[in-house]
Amino acid sequence: MKKLLFIVTFLWASIGLNVHAQVLFTAPDTVCVNQPVYIKSNLATYNPSTIFWGFCSGYMLNVPTGANIGNNFNLVNPSGIEIVKSNNNYFGFVVNNLTQEFLRLEFGNSMANIPTVTNFGTIENTIPAFTNSIYPVQDEFGNWFVFVVGGADSSSSSMARVNFGPDLNSIPSGVNYGNVSGVMSNPRGVFVAEDAGIWTAYCVNTGTSTLLRFDIGNNIQLTPTAVDLGNPSFSFAGPSDLSGIYDNGKWYLLVSNAANNTLSTVLLDNQLANPNFFASQFATQSTFNTPTSISVVQDCGAYHAFITNAATHELTRADFTPSNLGAGFKFTNLSNIGKLLQPSAISNFIRDHDNIYGFVTNVSDSTLTRIGFESCNNAFAPNAYELNPKPVKYNAAGIYNIYCAIDEGMPTSQVLCKPIVVLPIPDLTLTHDTTICQGDIINIVAQAFNANHYSWYPNYNITDTANLTTYVYPEYTVPYHVIISFPNGCIVDTAINVAVSKNKADAGNDRIIFDGARTILGGPSTTLGPNFTYSWYPTDFMTESNTATPHVLPPYDMTYYFTVTNAMGCVSKDTVVVKVTCNDLNLPNAFAPETRVNGGNKFGIMNNQIVQLNFFRIFDRWGKQVFYTTDVSKTWDGTFNGEPCGFGVYVWEADGFCISGMRVTKSGNVTLIR
């Protein structure tokens, strides 16, 4: 007999009763591959001491894995197996039908480990003959017990209790109650639980196809009495196993029938010890073929029964709702997993964070098969430990399980898990990633069948953010994302990368210079590098035209055109206007007659717009005039009467008229350098 799974830990009253978790979090039901799943956490309300999130947790609607872990466990015609967790370690218990041996499997801190085995034998002949089923349970004081039933007929049938105390690593003692009240005949599927302070057990008689109730009392160690409840609605036919369920204040029993390959359900209403209502119905299933055992699991708000079939060596899953048994069962044939070979018993299932495990014993080769609903590798990231986890993404389609546990091992512990359907990304028509020249504009398109909304981001140099097609003109490389939503809840966030081949021509700001002055063209935004070519037009009065920053000395107003071309062929153009104004005289403050630098060995007026020069004269430090002219083109070469003048500072004076008619008069100093 297998009892309902309680996530992570066990209730003291039994292997596990169902727990209705609070709403620890909410999350969407359906998303798409790579769609961020935003989880709304309510954990702050509970101020938890410990938090565990699993985003790729084992899910029982998926196909489980199966692994045959061998026959090195002293199994001889094994007939019953159960597993429990105690003090963060996992234990299994197995009984051998023919040898009456009671075995303990020690897995350590993970059910994925290969267990070590301790064979306790018959525990001083207290283990029933032809042992069939077992059920471990922990009482309110923390003591562990294992109930065992067995027998081939009424003369050999009995019930026993194995006592471990609070430590499952201890050597147990045993007590055999015999054939309780004389009603036992090839009993199977024992189930023990406490309800309203009273301990009660149930099992089925395979020999008589009847249901038995064992009244234990307010102390689990009391000697029970038994009542034969008959064949409920005549639905039992060679019952092979029984599983108990407690849901929404009501008790239920599920029974597998080996004689006619059916599944019976019994409603005990709200009292386990003295049920007020008694009813039964049964469901046939073509995948059943000599069902030998049944295990019921409650996980993620749903119930699942797992049934082993001896004749076909296969495992069947039945999904159902206890409060709506009239809706029937949904059966799934899981086939032969883990090399099942005449499976005789299936254990309860235990979830440990992201993984769920159960075990099956095989009669034909005395091996043990581990059934696993294990965590996947499709979530990024798979786990979290904070109040508000970051969004998670799944990289493949499927059904995944989000699992949250708080205050594990404490009286305030709570658990909630939620399945989430991840759909494949719908077919999309997207503009390929592209490259444009800086300053260009391009049309990009994202189109999907049955999409109901498009949203583009970032909202940068884009003409329309809410249509399937739009124009963009970025100044730098930008991945333009489009969020496409669908009626089924799928949201796709994909991007079209628009790379920008940078190519910027900056001729500089328009400017006004004095007549005769130089200026440097080009601005700071020009793209620089060896893969760019530069050209200016016209080239008049320019030092060189193939650089980004040429010098110009225009005699009058000029407009210069600047072109930058990159290796991709992108072209960028800009202009700069240079205006020349004549409102002053422009002369250098030093010169060196012996220099070979062009223009640096003469001293004179640099203006180009002086139409009349009244005088231009130069004096040495003693006031002697060393140069005089009224020709604006004449310059002083640093000599007087054919003799070089000495190093020093000289004074000059000039007077004339600009082309505009403006008179300009100025004096200053110049240093003659030898």
- When mean pLDDT is compared across 313-327, 429-443, 532-546, the lowest value belongs to 313-327
Residue 354 above 80 pLDDT? yes
The pairing of beta strand 40-41 with beta strand 393-394: unpaired
Q: What is the pLDDT of residues 138-178, one digit of tens each?
A: 999 999 999 999 999 999 999 999 999 999 999 999 999 99
Write the burial class of residue 414 (CB in 10 Å: 0-12 exposed, 13-18 middle, 19+ buried): buried
Q: What is the pLDDT of residues 534-555, one digit of tens each?
A: 999 999 999 999 999 999 999 9
What is the pTM (predicted TM-score) of this model?
A: 0.69
- Higher pLDDT, residue 280 or 521: 521
Mean pLDDT of 616-639: 95
* 242 sits in which H/E element: strand 239-247
Mean pLDDT of 4-18: 35
- When mean pLDDT is compared across 114-128, 281-295, 435-449, 499-513, the lowest value belongs to 281-295
| Pairwise CA distance, residues 426 & 430, whole Å | 12
Q: What is the pLDDT of residues 207-227, one digit of tens each?
A: 999 999 999 999 999 999 999
| Pairwise CA distance, residues 321 & 318, whole Å | 10
Q: What is the band of 7 on the pLDDT scale with cuts at 50, 70, 90? A: very low
Q: What is the pLDDT of residues 370-389, one digit of tens each?
A: 999 999 999 998 999 999 99
Both tokens assigned to 541: 């009065």
Nearest one of 303, 304, 306, 298 to 343, comparing CA atoms: 306
Both tokens assigned to 551: 């010098």
| Pairwise CA distance, residues 294 & 283, whole Å | 14
Mean pLDDT of 608-624: 94
Q: What is the band of 6 on the pLDDT scale with cuts at 50, 70, 90? A: very low
Residue 21 above 70 pLDDT? no
Both tokens assigned to 383: 């786990």
- Higher pLDDT, residue 1 or 261: 261
Is residue 551 within 8 Å of residue 522, measured between CB atoms?
A: no
Nearest one of 33, 58, 52 to 393, comparing CA atoms: 33
| Pairwise CA distance, residues 349 & 264, whole Å | 21
pLDDT of residue 212: 97
| Pairwise CA distance, residues 558 & 508, whole Å | 14
| Pairwise CA distance, residues 63 & 397, whole Å | 14
Is residue 52 within 8 Å of residue 385, measured between CB atoms?
A: yes
| Pairwise CA distance, residues 200 & 226, whole Å | 10
Burial 119-147 (b: 16+ CB within 10 A, else e): ebebbeebbbbbbbbbbbbbbeeebbbbb
| Pairwise CA distance, residues 383 & 390, whole Å | 10
The angle at the Cα of 371, spanning 401 to 95, to the nearest 5 degrees, equals 135
Is residue 462 within 8 Å of residue 475, measured between CB atoms?
A: no
Residue 37: alpha-carbon gap to chain centroid: 8
Residue 16 above 60 pLDDT? no
Is residue 640 within 8 Å of residue 625, measured between CB atoms?
A: no
| Pairwise CA distance, residues 576 & 548, whole Å | 13
pLDDT of residue 360: 98
Which structural domains are found in the chain, ordered by start? Answer: 74-353 (2.120.10.30), 428-501 (2.60.40.10), 511-581 (2.60.40.10), 590-672 (2.60.40)
Nearest one of 130, 101, 81 to 346, comparing CA atoms: 81
Write the burial class of residue 197 (CB in 10 Å: 0-12 exposed, 13-18 middle, 19+ buried): exposed
Q: What is the band of 15 on the pLDDT scale with cuts at 50, 70, 90? A: very low
Q: What is the pLDDT of residues 43-65, one digit of tens each?
A: 999 999 999 999 999 988 889 99
- Higher pLDDT, residue 73 or 8: 73
* 482 sits in which H/E element: strand 478-485
In three-state secondary structure terms, 300 is coil
Q: Residue 45 phi/psi, 5° resolution? A: -60, -30
Report the percent of the chain where pLDDT is more than 70: 96
Q: What is the mean pLDDT of the chain?
A: 92
Residue 326 above 70 pLDDT? no
Q: What is the band of 22 on the pLDDT scale with cuts at 50, 70, 90? A: low
Is residue 565 within 8 Å of residue 503, measured between CB atoms?
A: yes
Q: How many CB atoms lie within 10 A of CB 433?
A: 12
pLDDT of residue 280: 75
Give residue 145's identity as a one-letter amino acid code: F
Give residue 402's identity as a one-letter amino acid code: I
| Pairwise CA distance, residues 340 & 289, whole Å | 14
pLDDT of residue 600: 79
Q: What is the band of 351 on the pLDDT scale with cuts at 50, 70, 90? A: confident
pLDDT of residue 287: 82
Q: What is the band of 528 on the pLDDT scale with cuts at 50, 70, 90? A: very high
Tell the residue number behind the tokens 């036992």, with chain if given.
Answer: 184
Q: What is the band of 502 on the pLDDT scale with cuts at 50, 70, 90? A: confident
Q: Residue 44 phi/psi, 5° resolution? A: -60, -25
Query: What order of strands is seen across the sheet that includes strand 187-195?
Result: 187-195, 198-205, 210-217, 225-228
Tell the residue number behind the tokens 């003295």, with chain if given.
Answer: 274
